[in-house]
Homo-oligomer: A and B are copies of this chain.
Amino acid sequence: MNIAVAQSGGPTCAINASLLGVFRHATKYEEIGVVYGAVNGIEGLIYNQLVNLNEVIASDDDVELIRQTPSTVLGSCRFKLPDSEKDDSVYKIIVETLKAHDVGAFIYIGGNDSMDTVVKLDKYFKANNIDIKVVGVPKTIDNDLPVTDHTPGFGSAAKYVATTLQEIVRDSSVYSVESVTLVEIMGRDTGWLTASSAVLRANGLPAPHLIYLPENPFSVAKFLDDVRVAMKKYYAVVVAISEGVELDPDEVGQTEQSGKEDVFGHKYLAGVAKTLEKVVSRELKCKVRSIELNVMQRCSSHLSSKRDITEAERIGESAVKAVLEGKSGVMMYFKRISSNPYNVRIESVDATEVANRVKYFPREWIAENGHDVTEKAIEYCLPLIQGEQNFRIKNGIPQHYILPCALPRERAKK
């Protein structure tokens, strides 16, 4: 049989390593023929855009370059399959594509939405006696998937966030004036990535001085008090705040509207850090700056965690093993045995346990003062950011792998 693999959802630095894990492990087995890469996630199966990876990953050089390339070499999508009981037309197209390529297993690397696809495909195949296995491989910088100890991609993002915050702390503290620097960090509704910035404590740095996660109710009044207290001690205060922290419009004032409107025509607030920048400027009248770490937190592969990349490859391999053991409708996951020494096992879980669900940052890991995390959180994050990648550099810049089939042009014709 042949197998197909695809990547979905938001990019990370580790998702290509998982693709490599699938590809390289599959080529070790005689019973597996070609490994196809579906372009743009599940859309590649719908639009019949499959790439023969055995042809395009031709050398050890290709392997090295893919490992150090961020984002998804196969492209991605945000596509939600309909309920097959209501409308199975798209399922029929997918089956047609898979059968035409003699595919016996589909491995999907993605987040909680992608696990919804794993569940739905598996259910449809089983209900219709189609022998195609479906296995999910987790990935997201948000670290918000249930069951798994952590998600591939999170460790590299955390390493970026911590390293960059340390540099911002140095940058912000040069002048002899009081200042506030607000750093907005991704993670959607969860605080994992913001919390990871606290690993700087392990190196003796008190920063970031204030940490706010969406799992804790946010009060602007308390925030301003926290800043006032921190400023007495640290002068140049650096705040790490999750993009998902909800501000009460009554507390921040109507002037903070970004002018943008959502699809329903509702005006919404600017980013949380930008909004609080204006509040600090108005209320504390000190120097203030807001910084969005933006997409750099998910694509700065030059700063990826070696452990994260290694684990991402291993969990990709494990999906191939699961397929050969006859498993389907499962997601592979990390079970942490111990933090020190660090030890994880890879196991599988029914994908329904993960699909469309969110794992929040534990309330008990938020410090009582509401603006910090506990030692447990640091102990959890530290092992995940360990190790540095060796890079192939050309002209002073890391080299990236670009799929030779010129995707964007092809997509345009679609």
**Residues 198 to 219 of chain A near chain B (Cβ within 8 Å):** 199-200, 202-203, 205
With A278-B260, A296-B168 as given contacts, are A395 and B408 in contact (CB-CB < 8 Å)?
no
Q: Is residue A294 within 8 Å, beta carbon to beta carbon, of the partner chain?
A: yes
* A165, closest chain B residue (CB): B397
Q: Is residue A409 within 8 Å, beta carbon to beta carbon, of the partner chain?
A: yes
The segment out of A70-78, A221-229, A359-367 that lies at the interface is: A70-78
Query: How many residues of chain A are within 8 Å of chain B by beta carbon?
Result: 73
- Residue of B163, B174, B291, B299 near A71 (CB, 8 A) is B174
* A174, closest chain B residue (CB): B76
- Residue of B289, B298, B388, B408 near A171 (CB, 8 A) is B298
Distance (whole angstroms) from the CB of A218 to the closest CB of chain B = 21
> Residue among A167, A255, A408, A414 with the most chain B CB within 10 A?
A167
Q: Is residue A137 within 8 Å, beta carbon to beta carbon, of the partner chain?
A: no
Q: CB distance A299 to B167 under 8 Å?
A: yes
Q: CB distance A11 to B255 under 8 Å?
A: no
Q: CB distance B176 to A414 under 8 Å?
A: yes
Q: CB distance B173 to A399 under 8 Å?
A: no
Q: CB distance A294 to B291 under 8 Å?
A: yes
- Residue of B203, B259, B298 near A395 (CB, 8 A) is B203
- Residue of B69, B396, B407 near A199 (CB, 8 A) is B396
Total copies of this chain within the assembly: 2
Distance (whole angstroms) from the CB of A244 to the closest CB of chain B = 18
Q: Is residue A394 within 8 Å, beta carbon to beta carbon, of the partner chain?
A: yes
With A40-B176, A260-B278 as given contacts, are A295 and B396 in contact (CB-CB < 8 Å)?
no
Q: CB distance A70 to B302 under 8 Å?
A: no
Interface string of A312-349 (1 = CB under 8 A from B): 00000000000000000000000000000000000000
With A203-B394, A203-B397 as given contacts, are A170 and B305 in contact (CB-CB < 8 Å)?
no
Q: Is residue A386 within 8 Å, beta carbon to beta carbon, of the partner chain?
A: yes
- Residue of B164, B292, B391 near A292 (CB, 8 A) is B292
- Residue of B203, B302, B388 near A163 (CB, 8 A) is B302
Q: CB distance B299 to A171 under 8 Å?
A: yes
Task: State A387–B393 Cα separation when bound (angstroms).
Answer: 9
Task: State A162–B298 Cα separation when bound (angstroms).
Answer: 17
Q: Is residue A124 within 8 Å, beta carbon to beta carbon, of the partner chain?
A: no
**Residues 50 to 105 of chain A near chain B (Cβ within 8 Å):** 69-72, 75-78
Complex A-B, nearest 3 residue pairs according to Cβ-Cβ distance, in ascending order: A235-B408, A171-B299, A385-B396
User: Would you give 8 A-B contacts (Cβ < 8 Å), ordered by A?
Assistant: A11-B170, A75-B175, A76-B174, A164-B296, A203-B395, A203-B397, A289-B294, A292-B294
